[in-house]
Amino acid sequence: MNSSARLQRIDAIAAAWGGLVGGIGLIIAGPRELVIRIGITVIIGVVAGFLTGVRAVRNRIMNAAIAWILANCFYVTYVVAAQIVHLITGPAAPALFPGGVTEWTQVTLIFGLATLGGGGVAHLLLRPSRRHTHSL
Residue-wise pLDDT for 87-123, tens only, equals 887 767 777 888 889 999 999 999 999 999 999 998 8
Contact yes or no for 126/56 (Cβ under 8 A) = no
**Cα-based torsion angle of the residue sequence 65, 68, 70, 73 in order, rounded to the nearest 10 degrees:** -140
Cα–Cα dist 63/49, whole Å: 8
Length of the chain in residues, anyone? 136
Lowest mean pLDDT segment, chosen from 1-10, 21-30, 38-47, 91-100: 1-10
Cα–Cα dist 111/40, whole Å: 9
Q: In the chain, which residue ranges form alpha helices assigned H by DSSP?
A: 3-8, 12-29, 34-55, 60-89, 101-125
Q: What pTM value is reported for the model? A: 0.77
Q: What is the pLDDT of residue 30?
A: 86
Amino acid identity of residue 30, one-letter, is G
Cα–Cα dist 7/95, whole Å: 33
DSSP 59: -
3-21: pLDDT as tens digits = 555 555 788 999 999 999 9
Cα–Cα dist 36/122, whole Å: 25
Count the alpha carbons within 13 Å of 71 in the hemisphere toward its beta carbon. 37
